[in-house]
Amino acid sequence: MNQYKYLVWAGVAALIILSIFLLAKTNQVINTATTANTISFSGEGKVLAKPDVVVVSLSIVTEAITSNAAQHDNSQKSKAETEFLKGQGIEDKDIKTTGYNIYPRYNYPRNGNPEIRGYQVNQTLEFKIRDLDTVSGILDGIVSAGVNQVNRLSFKIDDLDALKAEARGKAIENAKIKANELQKQLGIRFGKIVNFYESSSGEFPPPIFFEIKQAAGELSGGGPTLPPGENEVVINATLTYQIR
């Protein structure tokens, strides 16, 4: 009797396991069919906009016999630059230090070991100019105030999210138009969208580089003229449809 019950329970367990296996296999076949019978379309969306922010990177380089003296001199110049920028309407949130380095400077005698002859401090600041009409005057002013080098200047768009959303909408619409055209040409119907992918690209204006060998020497006298041009935001979108 006990042996009979054991055989019954074993048979029930085997049926349950077989049912689970068949259900999983069926689901796998359905999913495979769903993903296999698909087609993808790519679309591109472009938006052109004028830059509304200028990002400037500059360096303050000082040298002295001792490290403390070089740092003190650099700190004074940095404060003067910061005060000048604030006086031009640039807020604290738009001014930041992006690098600070101290280097020993060596003499190399013909016979003997290198000797430290002093120290160099290099502080890099980055700031944003939100009023593009003041760019030329600010560049002229920071050099006159003691900046050794303007590393680069870039025209940018402060809020890219809105432009990306607009470009994304154009890219999706472009992909949908291609899908609708192919449906008509082939006489087939597409189901729901099962996958979406996007990437961004585009040619942004390259940064402008300056070299200043003498402070207040090469950019003084009115400052440079810098046309901002336009920036291009490009989104590529890919839509994947089911084929009914």
- Per the structure, how many domains does the chain have? 2
The per-residue pLDDT for range 110-135, each reduced to its tens digit, is: 888 888 999 999 999 999 999 998 99
pLDDT in tens, 19-38: 555 455 444 444 444 456 89
- Whether 62 maps to a domain, the answer reads yes
pLDDT over threshold 60, residue 140: yes
In a domain, 9, yes or no: yes
Same domain, 122 and 31: no
**Reported pTM:** 0.64
pLDDT at 237 > cutoff 90: yes
58 and 27 share one domain:
no
Same domain, 26 and 121: no
Q: Quick check: 239 and 179 in contact, CB under 8 A?
A: yes
pLDDT at residue 48 greater than cutoff 50: yes
In a domain, 87, yes or no: yes
Residue 29's pLDDT is 40
Same domain, 27 and 92: no
Residues 3 and 120 in one domain: no
**Contacts with 53 (C-beta within 8 Å, 6 or more apart), sequence order:** 128, 129, 130, 155, 156, 157, 158
- What is the reported pLDDT for 32? 44
222 and 126 in a common domain: yes
In a domain, 85, yes or no: yes
State which residues form the domain around 146. 52-158+205-227
On whether both 95 and 134 belong to a single domain, the answer is yes
| Same domain assignment for residues 150 and 63 | yes
- Distances in Å between the Cα of 39 and the Cα atoms of 28, 70, 100, 182, 199 are 20, 65, 53, 11, 19
Section 58-75 average pLDDT: 95
Which of the four pLDDT bands, split at 50, 70 and 90, describes residue 9?
low
Q: What is the pLDDT, as a whole number, of residue 90? A: 94
Is there a single domain that holds both residue 103 and residue 73?
yes
Candidate from 90-99, 188-197, 209-218 with smallest mean pLDDT? 209-218
Q: How far apart are CA 129 and CA 136, in angstroms?
A: 11
Average pLDDT over residues 152-167: 90
Answer whether 195's CB lies under 8 Å from 240's CB.
Answer: yes
Whether 209 and 90 share a structural domain: yes
pLDDT at 146 over 60: yes
